[in-house]
Amino acid sequence: METYYNHINGEWCESKTGEQFENRNPADWNEIVGTFPKSDKRDVDAAVKAACGAFNEWRLMPAPKRGEIIKKAGDLLTERKEELARLMTREMGKVLTETRGDMQEGIDTAYYAASEGRRLFSHTAPSELPNKMNMSFRMPVGVAGIITPWNFPMAIPTWKIFPALVCGNTVVFKPASDTPATAAELVKILLEAGVPPRVINIVHGTGSAVGIPIVEHPDINIISFTGSSAVGKVIAEKAGRQLKRVSLELGGKNAQIVMDDADLDLALEGVIWGAFGTTGQRCTATSRLILHHAIYDTFLDMLAARTQKLVMGSGLDPDVHVGPLVNAGQRDIVEHYVEIGKKEGARLVCGGERETSARCANGFFYKPTVFAEVTPSMTIAREEIFGPVLSVLKAVSVEEAIAILNNTVYGLSSSIYTRNVNNAFKAVRDIEAGITYINGPTIGAECHMPFGGVKETGNGHREGGWSVYEFFSEIKTVYVDFSGKLQRAQIDNQG
């Protein structure tokens, strides 16, 4: 067990409360991964003050130099990939194959961010007046408040922090209380790579005691949050009172369509990975499966047989396919929705109960669960569960399948398996989602492409790719008049 601290104003320190909380292994609750400071608003105030004090020095460093520091961080993440992947599995449960992927996404994001330090492109345009030039530049916004979830403890913080830093912002970072150790190690790596000590600050604690003070602090200029839609709405309201720029990546109720002309074996691989990877604890997880009626029974049999072969246990065990839920509360939520599904008339095909084998006795394990005969109006087809529960629905055409897919308040990721190019392009055109996969599962975003959704999945911003650099920078328009006289736009250019 290791004792961790906040990093504020260039120092590793305890919280002002003097209190700590434990981070435990959800696969074996007897194992304490580490203890962390239970911070409050006073710690946030100190972190923001430090970040404000460091802003001028950091923003004046040339962006390519800032990018070089992030490149060094990528090198250090590469060196420590296996070590940190194992730590991540211990603190949040997903299998080692996935935490290695989580680490690799952070590495890839670092190298992409480093290259953006030499771009940060803006525009020039001709002036309507003679002897005058028009141009624009990207400028940093100020202090960025970064609030991240527990399901991708390395990837999501790097999606936010690396672009924020490359754009010249300073950072106050609040990681999820379920995965603080990976976050702390990321901050250590950034400091080792050369980020000036006051530029990156981490404050551990709860959403109410740390997250909300970050959102409401008048000296934090920009907020990036990933989490539930309910919390996102609260953040949008509170930040909106100060007209802060806010990026919200929120919930999903993602669906995979399988048409009658699809490669069924490939589609089966996709839905197993999409529904039960990360134990269903992804905003992009496949929680609905929409099957063409002609292959419904056949595919359902294939799905049930494959699901029941999945092995549960510690993510450090190479023979395990599915790890635990992150905590007892999340398991309770899954159980609650399973009971709702039964009461509303869905047919339980497999799962639907806790995994109680000896290897799972001390953790929060729940069997991968499949419901059939689900209708679009059922609760389990409409609300986000964030667990290993898959609802199977039936459609008679691609148009009906797309209509069922769109019948949700969310719009993050989507998928269709088909060999028919017309069906594929109808899906691309008509599905209401920020991401659509053709012949791939609903999970698997790549760091150099925009990531985000529509409807209650977010507020329109995107992470990943070039788009996140637009969020973390302001456009400054510059006019240079070298005519030697007053020229009035829209007046002197007319005869």
CATH at residue 328? 3.40.309.10
First to last CA, the chain: 78
348 and 342 in contact (C-beta within 8 Å)?
Answer: yes
Could you read off the pLDDT of 159-190 as tens digits, one per residue? 999 999 999 999 999 999 999 999 999 999 99
246 and 258 assigned to the same domain: no
493 pLDDT higher than 90: no
Domain co-membership, 288 together with 202: no
Residues 65 and 162 in one domain: yes
Contact by Cβ (8 Å): 357, 411: no
Domain membership of residue 495 (yes or no) is: no
Domain count, the chain: 2
What is the spatial distance between Cα 59 and Cα 171, in angstroms, rounded to a whole number?
A: 12
Same domain, 364 and 303: yes
Residue 36: in which H helix or E strand, if any?
strand 28-37
Within a domain: 488 = no
pLDDT digits (tens, 9 = 90+) for 234-279: 999 999 999 999 999 999 999 999 999 999 999 999 999 999 999 9
Is 494 inside any structural domain?
A: no
- Segment 323-350, tens digit of pLDDT: 999 999 999 999 999 999 999 999 999 9
- The answer to whether position 279 is within a domain reads yes
For residue 495, the model assigns a pLDDT of 66
Confidence tier at 494 by pLDDT (50, 70, 90): confident
Contact 321, 311 (CB under 8 A): yes
Task: Give the domain CATH number at 41.
Answer: 3.40.605.10
**Please, which pLDDT band fits residue 225 given cuts at 50, 70 and 90?**
very high
The answer on 258 and 334 residing in a single domain is yes
54 within a domain of the structure (yes/no): yes
Q: What is the pLDDT of residue 53?
A: 98
Local confidence band at 84 (pLDDT 50, 70, 90 cut-offs): very high
Burial class of residue 459, CB neighbours in 10 A (0-12, 13-18, 19+): middle
Instruction: Average the pLDDT over 35-44 and give the result.
Output: 98
pLDDT digits (tens, 9 = 90+) for 343-396: 999 999 999 999 999 999 999 999 999 999 999 999 999 999 999 999 999 999
How confident is the model at residue 473, as a pLDDT? 98
Catalytic residue among 167, 283, 360, 447: 283
Considering the domain architecture, whether residues 143 and 159 belong to the same structural domain is answered as yes
Whether 344 is in a domain gets the answer yes
Residue % of the chain over a pLDDT of 90: 99
Q: Active-site residue among 116, 249, 456, 463?
A: 249
Q: Is 328 found in the same domain as 198?
A: no
| pLDDT attached to residue 3 | 97
Over residues 124-150, the mean pLDDT reads 97
Express as a percent the part of the chain with pLDDT over 70: 100
Same domain, 340 and 300: yes
* Cα 209 to Cα 220: distance, rounded to the nearest angstrom: 16
**186 and 225 share one domain:** yes
What's the average model confidence in pLDDT over 17-32? 98
Please give the pLDDT value at position 326: 98
Reference 392, options 372, 365, 369, 421; nearest CA is 372
> Are 181 and 277 contained in the same domain?
no
pLDDT at 5: 98
Active site residue 283: yes
The reply to whether 269 belongs to the active site is no
Look at residue 449 and tell me if it is in a domain: no
For residue 388, the enclosing domain spans 254-438
Confidence of residue 60 (pLDDT cuts 50, 70, 90): very high
Q: 141 and 263: one domain?
A: no
Q: What is the pLDDT of residue 276?
A: 98
Which residues, 6 or more positions from 357, have their beta carbon under 8 angstroms from its beta carbon? 312, 313
User: What pLDDT band is residue 1 in, cutting at 50, 70 and 90?
Assistant: confident
Under 8 Å between Cβ of 278 and 149: no
One domain for residues 239 and 287: no
**Within-domain flag for 444:** no
Average pLDDT over residues 16-24: 98
Give me the mean pLDDT over the 452-474 stretch.
Answer: 97
Task: Report the candidate in 415, 348, 411 with the shortest Cα–Cα distance to residue 378.
Answer: 348
Q: Mean pLDDT of all residues in the chain?
A: 97
